[in-house]
């Protein structure tokens, strides 16, 4: 177990190093920090002096190591626009994004398992055909279009749902403010969560369905039938457990990806999270903030993947973590 | 009353070009505690017969006609609920490959206990005790530990032992074992077969043993049924089938045994291959490979008639033996 853990942590660190290198490369090539600091009307001599002072003339490796050292200490530079540490800016926006991802995840898990299982065990039912048809529609409409259509239908035409912002939030601790404490908060998070889940949900329904169909044809399912086990137990104990094992791995990766998908959803719903912040940062060429965003998202991605792998190892009896040191 | 009485069992597979017949008018009886072997080449319909008896054919297969009277009830007509109550309780099945038979994510204990609980009102503790007793009966070392292990932690032979114990859990009247040792290491095949025989004898359990291996059949079973292309072509006491085969196909099978061939010589295989369901010839299904083939063989399917202690379905045997055919088995 320890050896496996150490191995996974090393892999995670390696990935983070690559991400930081990409981030650093962007920083060096996107925008000129001097212009942001000094404006245009300063003499070339002063510029060069400042370049030296800021270390911008140092060799690449020295600059990268400095960047890395600062990053490890949580210093990802200062946002040009907010004039605040970039990490701080992001951490303020992070809870809104995480709550949105959480809402979408709950929708995905809550619906994909029952729908995936149902469409697998009753492939010819009208309801199954309907779900599969809808899932194709869901898969083929881009997230932002789904979001806009939902706003048009439920906010503009019907006036049932708010289309804008987080609504009333309640402070939990630190920068964390939650949507889940008030009715207004709940109402505001529903449509963005659905929009965000609109691609993943159909994907997961299909994934679970396909896995389940395969598992149901396996020999051990037939053996369970030969033992006289009740169908519900065969579906939900024998088959579902084997179905979800591969789904967990894919699922973990996808939840990480969803953090990136929030850029579109947040922008359409003016959701004050780090996705919409990122798009604004790009518009303002706020390089430190862009780089900080990439590194934070990369970090979230790596952490969720590592956790998912560990969970997979724990729930899959054929993987003995203790023996996987090599 | 016999334990099992199969009459004119017909199984078909639905296909795009219409149904094809996989089992054609199978009839046989099994007395309580009797052991019957089913032999025949690959694709003869042995497994299909086993699954049909359990009413466990998977789509697109279905029972198209006939009766499967098990303890007086027709399995083919039972409600799904009654079939489920029968399976694993009064009639148990042992599958071919123990490496894929057990569910990889459930412990041995869970899989044994669920079987008991599916058929009896028992607490988990009581069920666990019964499971333990059964594991001991099949000579599994440290059975207590086995209950908490997952299948992948056990060897193939150990798994098949456990599967035999699982088949015995509810004291069934009949066990259907479909090539229970083919997937195992040669060195332990005999052990497992001996265990199965011992368990059936000591518990008065009927056994239907499906196998390719005539040697195994002669050691374990009292009667043998030879299948070819979805039909029974010969059946009788195992000793007669082995020592005095009547049907040219059975004779071919026996002659092809390695023991029948002097060392260094090629095995005497039956020429040709068995027809598939789609290429089934008219008349006797064996006539395309038969040395004795006569005119009637190409046009009429032979009925099964008694010769001595066996039943044989062959026009030419009838003619050569020059005997008046006795009454039909049914
Ligand atoms: N799902 C299916 N659809 C169509 N035909 C099938 C299906 N399953 C089996 N069959 C056919 O039924 C026939 C009998 O198959 P069965 O599995 O009973 O053979 P077997 O005697 O057990 O052979 P083996 O010794 O290889 O196990 C074969 O011709 C096979 O092709
Ligand atoms: Mg078979």
Cβ contact, residue pair B87, A227, below 8 Å:
yes
Cα of B45 to ligand 1 centre, how many Å?
A: 6
- Identify the bridge partners of residue B87 per DSSP, sorted by sequence position: B91
Ligand 1 pocket member B17 (CB < 6 A): no
Closest residue by Cα to atom 25, ligand 1, is B42
Q: Which two tokens stand for residue B192?
A: 């497992």
Give the closest residue to A295 by CA, choosing from A75, A101, A134, A44. A75
Instruction: Considering only residues A150 and A316, tell me which one the structure prediction assigns the higher pLDDT.
Output: A150
B273 Cβ neighbours under 8 A, 6+ residues apart: B289
- With beta carbons under 8 A apart, name residues in chain B contacting A245: 105
| pLDDT attached to residue A180 | 83
B92 inside 8 A of chain A by CB: yes
ipTM entry: 0.91
B118 touches chain A (CB under 8 A): yes
Q: Over range A118-136, report the average pLDDT.
A: 94
Centre of ligand 2 from the C-alpha of residue B56, in Å: 14
Q: Is the dihedral of CA A31, A37, A42, A46 positive or negative?
A: negative
Angle at A138 between CA A183 and CA A146, to 5 degrees: 55
Q: A320 pLDDT band (50/70/90 cuts)?
A: low
Centre of ligand 1 from the C-alpha of residue B48, in Å = 6
For the Cβ of B12 lying below 6 angstroms from any atom of ligand 1, the answer is no
* Rounded mean pLDDT, B111-138: 96
Q: What is the 3-state secondary structure (H, E, C) of chain A?
A: CHHHHHHHHHHHHHHHHHHHHHHHHHHHHCCCHHHHHHCCCCCHHHHHHHHHHHCCCCCHHHHHHHHHHHHHCCCCCECCCCCCEHHHHHHHHHHHHHHHHHHHHHHHHHHHHHHHHHHHHCCCCHHHHHHHHHHHHHHHCCHHHHHHHHHHHHHHHCCCCCCCCCCCCEEEECCEEECCCCHHHHHHHHHHHHHHHCCHHHHHHHHHHHHHHHHHCCHHHHHHHHCCCCHHHHHHHHHHHHHHHHHHHHHHHHHHHHHHHHHHHHHHCCCCCHHHHHHHHHHCCCHHHHHHHHHHHHHHHHHHHHHHHHHHHHHCCCCCHHHCCC
Decide if A122 touches B, using CB distance below 8 A.
no
B264 vs B204: which has the higher pLDDT? B204
Using pLDDT thresholds of 50, 70 and 90, give the confidence band for residue A36.
low
pTM: 0.84
For chain A, what is the mean pLDDT? 85
Please answer yes or no on whether A226 and B104 come within 8 Å at the CB atom: no
pLDDT tens digits along B207-244: 999 998 898 999 999 999 999 999 999 999 999 999 99
User: Using CA positions, which residue lies closest to atom 22 of ligand 1?
Assistant: B47
Q: Whole-angstrom Cα distance, residue A308 to residue A192?
A: 25
The alpha carbon of residue A122 is apart from the nearest alpha carbon of chain B, in Å, by 14
Does the Cβ of B22 fall within 6 Å of ligand 1?
yes
Using the mean position of ligand 1's atoms as its centre, give its distance from the Cα of residue B43 in Å. 5
Q: Judge whether A234 is closer than 8 Å to chain B, CB to CB.
A: no
- Put simply, whether A314 touches B (Cβ < 8 Å) is no
Atom of ligand 1 nearest to the CA of B210: 22
Task: Write out pLDDT tens, residues B81-103.
Answer: 999 999 999 999 999 999 999 99
Q: Tell me, yes or no, if B102 comes closer than 8 A to chain A by beta carbon.
A: yes
Q: pLDDT value at position B266?
A: 73
Q: Give the pLDDT score at B330.
A: 46
| pLDDT over 70 (residue A310) | yes
Q: Is the Cβ atom of B43 under 6 angstroms away from ligand 1?
A: yes
Which range among B38-42, B51-55, B77-81, B183-187 shows the weakest confidence by mean pLDDT? Answer: B183-187
Q: For residue A222, which residues of chain B lie inside 8 Å, CB to CB?
A: 56, 58, 95
Per-chain mean pLDDT for chain B = 90
């Amino acid at each position: 177990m320890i050896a496996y853990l150490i191995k996974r942590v090393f892999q995670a660190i390696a990935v983070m190093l690559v991400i930081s290198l990409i981030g650093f490369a962007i920083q060096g090539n996107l925008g000129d920090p001097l212009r942001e600091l000094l404006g245009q009307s300063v003499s070339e001599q002063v510029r060069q002096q400042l370049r030296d002072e800021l270390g911008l003339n140092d060799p690449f490796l020295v600059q990268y190591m400095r960047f890395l050292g600062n990053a490890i200490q949580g210093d990802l530079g200062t946002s040009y626009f907010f004039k605040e540490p970039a990490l701080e800016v992001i951490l303020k926006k992070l809870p809104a994004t995480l709550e949105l991802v959480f809402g979408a995840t709950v929708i995905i898990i809550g619906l994909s398992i029952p729908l995936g299982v149902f469409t697998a065990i009753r492939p010819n039912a009208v309801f199954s055909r309907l779900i599969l048809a809808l899932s194709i529609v869901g898969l083929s409409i881009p997230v932002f279009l789904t979001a806009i259509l939902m706003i048009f239908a439920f906010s503009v035409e019907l006036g049932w749902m708010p289309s804008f912002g987080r609504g009333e939030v309640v402070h939990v601790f630190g920068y964390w403010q939650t949507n889940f404490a008030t009715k207004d908060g709940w109402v505001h998070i529903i449509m963005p969560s659905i929009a965000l889940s609109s691609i993943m949900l159909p994907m997961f329904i299909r994934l679970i369905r396909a896995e389940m169909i395969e598992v149901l044809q396996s020999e051990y399912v037939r053996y369970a039938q030969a033992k006289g086990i009740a169908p519900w137990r065969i579906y939900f104990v024998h088959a579902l457990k084997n179905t979800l094992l591969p789904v967990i791995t894919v699922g973990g990766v996808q939840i990480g990806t969803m953090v990136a998908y929030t850029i579109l959803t947040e922008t359409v719903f003016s959701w004050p999270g780090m996705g919409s912040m990122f798009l604004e940062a790009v518009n303002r060429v706020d390089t430190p903030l862009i780089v900080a965003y990439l590194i934070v998202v990369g970090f979230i991605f790596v952490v969720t993947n590592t956790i998912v792998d560990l969970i997979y190892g724990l729930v899959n009896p054929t993987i003995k973590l203790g023996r996987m040191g090599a | 009353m016999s334990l099992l009485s199969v009459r004119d069992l017909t199984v078909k597979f639905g296909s795009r070009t219409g149904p094809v017949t996989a089992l054609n008018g199978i009839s046989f009886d099994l007395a309580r505690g009797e052991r019957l072997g089913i032999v025949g080449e690959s694709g003869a319909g042995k497994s299909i017969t086993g699954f049909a008896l359990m009413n466990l054919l998977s789509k697109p297969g279905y029972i198209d006609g006939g009766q499967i009277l098990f303890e007086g009830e027709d399995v083919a007509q039972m409600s799904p609920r009654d079939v489920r109550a029968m399976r694993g309780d009064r009639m148990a099945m042992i599958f071919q490959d123990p490496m894929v038979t057990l569910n990889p994510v459930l412990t041995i204990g869970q899989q044994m206990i669920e079987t008991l609980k599916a058929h009896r009102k028992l607490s988990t503790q009581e069920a666990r005790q019964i499971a333990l007793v059964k594991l001991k009966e099949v000579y599994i070392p440290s059975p207590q530990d086995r209950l908490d292990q997952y299948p992948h932690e056990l060897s193939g032979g150990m798994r098949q032992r456990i599967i035999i114990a699982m088949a015995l859990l509810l004291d069934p009247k009949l066990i259907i074992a479909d090539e229970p040792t083919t997937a195992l290491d040669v060195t332990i095949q005999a052990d497992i077969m001996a265990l199965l025989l011992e368990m059936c004898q000591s518990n008065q359990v009927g056994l239907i043993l499906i196998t390719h291996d005539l040697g195994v059949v002669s050691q374990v079973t009292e009667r043998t049924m030879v299948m070819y292309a979805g039909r029974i072509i010969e059946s009788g006491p195992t000793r007669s089938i082995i020592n005095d085969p009547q049907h040219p196909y059975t004779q071919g099978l026996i002659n092809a045994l390695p023991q029948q061939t002097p060392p260094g010589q090629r095995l005497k295989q039956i020429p040709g291959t068995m027809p598939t369901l789609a290429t089934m010839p008219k008349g006797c299904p064996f006539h395309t490979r038969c040395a004795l083939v006569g005119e009637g063989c190409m046009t009429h399917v032979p009925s099964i008639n008694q010769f001595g202690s066996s039943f044989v379905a062959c026009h030419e045997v009838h003619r050569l033996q020059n005997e008046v055919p006795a009454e039909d088995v049914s």
